[in-house]
Amino acid sequence: MEKRKYFTFKVDTEHYALPIDTVDQIIGIQDITLIPNQPHYIKGVINLRGLIVPIVDFRLRLGIESLDYTDRMSIVVTENEDGFIGFVVDEVSEVLDIEDKDISKQSDKKIKKENALIDGFYKTEKFIIKILNYNQISQH
């Protein structure tokens, strides 16, 4: 079985994880330049050392009410073949080593269809971590 590293974070009361190889860096909340005519969850862009990075409010992307940004929140900057994208999350947690066999995949087709953002679940002693489908959450 293969073991992979996952970056974990909280949004509202829920725990989420992304494969660590999709995470470029974690930065503090910055001034966001608004961009008109975008989906409601895209808050705008930031200038990150000369790169223009779109910023997604992850609460809104998940259908949760947005909050005023605080110093406890962070922007998780990720990278794929289309470039960089940042996600505002409530709280950064830790990096976990998770074996593929320990991730419960979604078996119910209705749940899978309506929750394409989630690839599976990892159970800890205290809570369940939702493993995110990076390709789905980074589309806008």
Give the pLDDT confidence of 112-130 residue by residue, as tens digits. 544 678 889 999 999 999 9
pLDDT mean over 35-51: 94
Identify the pLDDT of residue 81: 78
CATH code at 17?
A: 2.40.50.180
Domain that holds residue 119: 3-137
Top-confidence residue, 113 or 131: 131
Q: Is residue 96 within 8 Å of residue 2, measured between CB atoms?
A: no
Number of domains in the chain: 1
pTM: 0.87
Q: How confident is the model at residue 110 (pLDDT cuts 50, 70, 90)?
A: low
CA distance 13 to 88: 15
